[in-house]
Amino acid sequence: MLSHCVRQVRGYATKSKTTNMKMTARVPLERTSLPNGSLFVTRQPPVPLEVQATAPAIHRPHERKVELTDKEIEEIRQLRQQDPETWTRNKLAKKFNCSSLFISMVAPSPSAQPTPPATMSSEKGYRRQLITKNRQRRKELW
């Protein structure tokens, strides 16, 4: 059928002396001749669909956690605020059956809360203040 195909041979040295077997298809192929004489190649799945349907799940199904009420969230915040050393994120997460990420979003550690920067202006950073001051000096020289 494909008598006109010529096998390509490398004209340069390869890293290994074995042929490159990575590029060969390891799945069953189905070749179909089309009316115009060309060949249509489709790859068949390596595992039959009947076997795929009965295969076990790769991952366990995600268990949906119970949503906390506003009262419970407020209790989390109070416990975290009163004694962050005792009530760590992990302890609160185990007590309320939620993730430690959720605890960190609802009640961040009091020591981790950001403090305002000690700059001349709270709305502008050091670099912006310097640019503004230099601009005013240039305007005075006009």
Section 119-126 average pLDDT: 68
| Of 16-25, 50-59, 102-111, 129-138, minimum mean pLDDT range | 16-25
Burial class of residue 17 (count of CB atoms within 10 Å of its CB; 0-12, 13-18, 19+): exposed
Contact 77, 110 (CB under 8 A): no
The residues with which 40 forms a beta bridge, in sequence order, are 32
65-89 pLDDT per residue, tens: 678 999 999 999 999 999 888 999 9
Tokens of 28: 């069953």
3-13 pLDDT per residue, tens: 555 566 666 66
104 phi/psi in degrees, rounded to 5 = -65, -30
Helix (H, G, I), strand (E, B) or coil at 41: strand
Q: At what angle do helices 70-82 and 89-96 cross, to 10 degrees?
A: 150
15-74 pLDDT per residue, tens: 666 666 666 657 778 899 999 999 999 888 888 888 888 988 888 877 766 789 999 999
Tokens of 133: 């001051």
Tokens of 120: 């001349």
Domain layout of the chain by residue ranges = 70-111
